[in-house]
């Protein structure tokens, strides 16, 4: 009895399997490359319940980061200001502004303002703000020039590769502690930064973890 299928059909299953393997590799590679924070988060600047202009408050008024982010030096989280913090000023300044209505309502009711979170590490990542700012890592290194932003946006990728750049060469990023919240400060040159950074790293015994358990706990 003659064969129903031609001889070349015997290779079809192998070709289909190879094609599926190649497709899976390509799709996985694409997801791994394009679904990183650099592509999914950078530029994210959501509308907030209250438009807070960091440029106005920091550059013009001269407010320190720690006035609103009170936990940044003592906690893993920087924290967001309570309505009472805002009302310390806005009880008298623009006290009737309709833009500040959510703040006034929160202050009176005790219910927190529902701010939209912009920077958020994955659940499997451990990050401690206090450990970084108390060893000379300024806000701008992770958040960009927030002091110049009228609308806060996700500026840096905050990917694992991004973090490891600093952990591998902390001398390129650390600064004197009294300059951590001076967001306009920078060393006079890259060479001066490295020289100063090496001294600070040695003086403070900075030894950022490079093993997985350092950040994945």
Same domain, 74 and 28: no
**Structural domain count, the chain:** 2
- Per-residue pLDDT tens for 44-59? 999 999 999 999 999 9
Residue 153 lies in a domain: yes
Residue 174 lies in a domain: yes
Q: How many CB atoms lie within 10 A of CB 28?
A: 10
- Domain carrying residue 210: 66-80+118-214
Look up residue 117 and give its two tokens. 């979170």
How sure is the predictor about 188, in pLDDT bands with cuts at 50, 70 and 90? very high
Q: What is the pLDDT of residue 121?
A: 83
Query: CA-CA distances (angstroms) from residue 136 to 30, 61, 153?
Result: 36, 24, 23
Q: Of 90 and 6, which is predicted with more confidence? A: 90
Residue 85 lies in a domain: no
Residue 57 lies in a domain: no
Same domain, 72 and 27: no
How sure is the predictor about 22, in pLDDT bands with cuts at 50, 70 and 90? confident
CA–CA separation, 36 and 21 (whole Å): 23
Same domain, 19 and 72: no
Average pLDDT, the chain: 90
Residue 197 and residue 170 in contact, taking contact as beta carbons nearer than 8 Å: yes
Same domain, 76 and 16: no
Same domain, 152 and 199: yes
Q: Calculate what percentage of the chain has a pLDDT beyond 70.
A: 90
Model's pTM, two decimal places?
0.78
Q: What is the pLDDT of residue 23?
A: 83
């Amino acid at each position: 009895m003659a064969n129903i299928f031609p001889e070349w059909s015997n290779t079809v299953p192998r070709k289909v399997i190879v094609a599926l393997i190649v497709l899976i590799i390509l799709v996985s590679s694409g997801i791994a490359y394009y679904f990183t924070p650099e592509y999914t988060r950078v530029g994210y600047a959501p509308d907030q319940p209250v438009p807070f202009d960091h440029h106005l408050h920091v550059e013009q008024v001269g407010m320190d980061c720690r006035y609103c982010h009170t936990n940044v030096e003592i906690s893993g989280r920087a924290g967001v200001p309570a309505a009472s913090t805002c009302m310390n000023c806005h009880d008298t300044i623009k006290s009737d502004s309709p833009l500040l209505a959510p703040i006034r309502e929160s202050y009176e009711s005790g219910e927190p303002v529902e701010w939209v979170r912009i920077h958020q590490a994955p659940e499997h990542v451990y990050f401690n703000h206090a450990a970084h700012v108390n060893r000379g890592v300024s806000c701008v290194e992770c958040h960009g020039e927030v002091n110049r932003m009228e609308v806060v946006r996700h500026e840096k990728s905050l990917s694992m590769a991004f973090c490891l750049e600093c952990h591998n060469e902390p001398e390129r990023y650390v600064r004197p502690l009294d300059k951590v919240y001076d967001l306009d400060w920078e060393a006079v040159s890259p060479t001066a930064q490295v020289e100063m950074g090496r001294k600070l790293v040695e003086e403070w015994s900075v030894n950022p973890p490079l093993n997985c358990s350092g950040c994945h706990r």
